[in-house]
């Protein structure tokens, strides 16, 4: 249950971005749809996309066309692609236009959860909240949320129109949300949807220091994924592998089980293109870390310093506003 909103989702959702955007060339459409359908068979009811993810909304809309009313679809507005560059735009008129386009691409009458993808510093968040309230009253969206927003902004937005969820990065590799964000969400009764709960693939143990990334793979420009930082962060991977061996699980399952163990109102959205990884990821919901195991793991994590920023400087400026 995402906070006190009444919106129920599967414990683990599916982030669909990587099928079309951000992680190299787009997947074959039939294969991507097969992954989405297999996720449904395995109990997933929560699918995440955004208008900026190239053709991803259309892909998700096609895959879920025969499941209307049974799945929760989340999408996002507020980032435009202008001359090949991502530009933040949270103006009310643009939110309304984006919502209409997303409804068509997703083939739905109502968007279940609609996020502002990044906070626009030039638009008061109250104006965004009022716009989302209007869209709710018109039946175009059911719930709304913010992505990568700061706590002060969240409080201001929530006071105008209650937020259902906040989406931000959170994993063993990026624990900053524990400082201010998670306590605020608990206080306000807002759900948390962590993206990159596997550290953009790093926590699976599959990325070695000699890894190379396709020119269209976002990780190519992420400081955390330089060869030096990949090598420097192997201690974290080794820790996760050691716990996985004890629990007879995969490293990815331990990383996801750790996220799930933090709070009952957290629903991570790992992404994958491969059926075998999907099945493995979803198995994390059945892994229970005891309070002692969690404490020992957190103690070990506290001694590990992560090398490399999670975003290049241009992207980091847009987070936490």
Give me the pLDDT at residue 219, please.
82
**Looking at 53, 114, 115, 170, which residue is catalytic?**
53
Q: Which residues of 179-199 are buried (b: 16+ CB within 10 A; e: fewer)?
A: eebbebbeebebbbbbbbbbb
- Cα–Cα distance for residue pair 187/174, rounded to 1 Å: 22
Is 53 tagged catalytic? yes
- Which secondary structure element, helix H or strand E, spans residue 261, and what is its range? helix 251-262
In a domain, 101, yes or no: yes
Give how many domains the chain has, as a whole number: 1
The domain of 43 spans 14-316
Hey, what are 320's tokens? 């936490």
Judge whether 2 lies within some domain.
no
Name the burial class of residue 292, with classes exposed (0-12), middle (13-18) and buried (19+) by CB atoms within 10 angstroms of its CB. Answer: exposed
What's the pLDDT tens digit per position in 73-97? 999 999 998 888 889 999 999 999 9
The reply to whether 8 falls in a domain is no
For residue range 24-50, what is the model confidence (pLDDT) as tens digits? 778 899 999 999 999 999 999 999 999
- Is residue 117 situated within a structural domain? yes
Q: Establish if 72 belongs to a structural domain.
A: yes
Predicted local distance difference test score (pLDDT) of residue 54: 86
Half-sphere exposure of 173 (CA within 13 A, CB side): 34
Measured distance CA(149)–CA(152) in Å, rounded? 8
pTM comes to 0.93
Domain-located, residue 100? yes
Domain containing 234 — which CATH number?
3.20.20.100
Measure the CA angle with vertex 315, ends 314 and 321; round to 5°: 110
5 falls within a domain? no
Give me the pLDDT at residue 292, please.
Answer: 94
Task: Please answer whether residues 142 and 108 qualify as being in contact, where contact means their C-beta atoms are separated by less than 8 angstroms.
Answer: no
| β-sheet bridge partners, residue 80 | 87
For residue 290, is it within any domain? Answer: yes
In tens digits, the chain (321 residues) has pLDDT values of 999 999 999 999 999 998 998 777 788 999 999 999 999 999 999 999 999 998 999 999 999 999 988 999 999 999 998 888 889 999 999 999 999 999 999 999 999 999 999 999 999 999 999 999 999 999 999 999 999 999 999 999 999 999 999 999 999 999 999 999 999 999 999 999 999 999 988 898 888 777 777 777 778 777 788 888 888 889 999 999 999 999 999 999 999 999 999 999 999 999 999 999 999 999 999 999 999 999 999 999 999 999 888 766 666 667 767
Calpha distance 80→77 (Å, rounded): 8
């Amino acid at each position: 249950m995402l906070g006190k909103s009444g919106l129920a989702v599967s414990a683990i959702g599916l982030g669909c971005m990587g099928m079309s955007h951000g992680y190299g060339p787009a997947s074959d459409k039939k294969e991507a749809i097969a992954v989405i359908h297999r996720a449904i068979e395995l109990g997933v009811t929560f699918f995440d996309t955004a208008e900026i993810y190239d053709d991803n909304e259309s892909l998700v809309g096609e895959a879920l066309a025969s499941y209307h009313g049974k799945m929760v679809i989340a999408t996002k507005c507020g980032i435009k692609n202008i001359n090949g560059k991502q530009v933040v735009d949270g103006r009310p008129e643009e939110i309304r236009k984006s919502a209409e386009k997303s409804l068509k691409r997703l083939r739905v009458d109502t968007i279940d959860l609609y996020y502002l993808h990044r906070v626009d510093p030039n638009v008061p968040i109250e104006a965004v909240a009022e716009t989302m309230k209007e869209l709710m009253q018109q039946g175009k969206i059911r719930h709304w949320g913010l992505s990568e927003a700061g706590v002060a902004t969240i409080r201001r937005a929530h006071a105008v129109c209650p937020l259902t969820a906040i989406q931000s990065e959170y994993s063993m590799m990026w624990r900053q949300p524990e400082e201010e964000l998670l306590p605020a969400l608990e206080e306000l009764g807002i759900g948390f949807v962590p993206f990159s709960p596997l550290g953009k693939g790093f926590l699976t143990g599959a990325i070695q220091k000699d890894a190379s990334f396709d020119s269209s793979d976002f990780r190519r420009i992420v400081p955390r994924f330089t060869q030096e930082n990949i090598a420097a962060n192997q201690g974290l991977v080794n820790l996760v592998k050691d716990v996985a061996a004890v629990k007879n699980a995969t490293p990815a399952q331990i990383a996801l089980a750790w996220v799930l163990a933090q709070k009952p109102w957290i629903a991570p959205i790992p992404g994958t293109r491969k059926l075998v990884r999907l099945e493995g990821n979803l198995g994390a919901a059945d892994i229970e870390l005891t309070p002692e195991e969690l404490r020992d793991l957190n103690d070990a994590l506290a001694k590990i310093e992560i090398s490399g920023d999670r975003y290049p400087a241009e992207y980091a400026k847009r987070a936490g506003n």
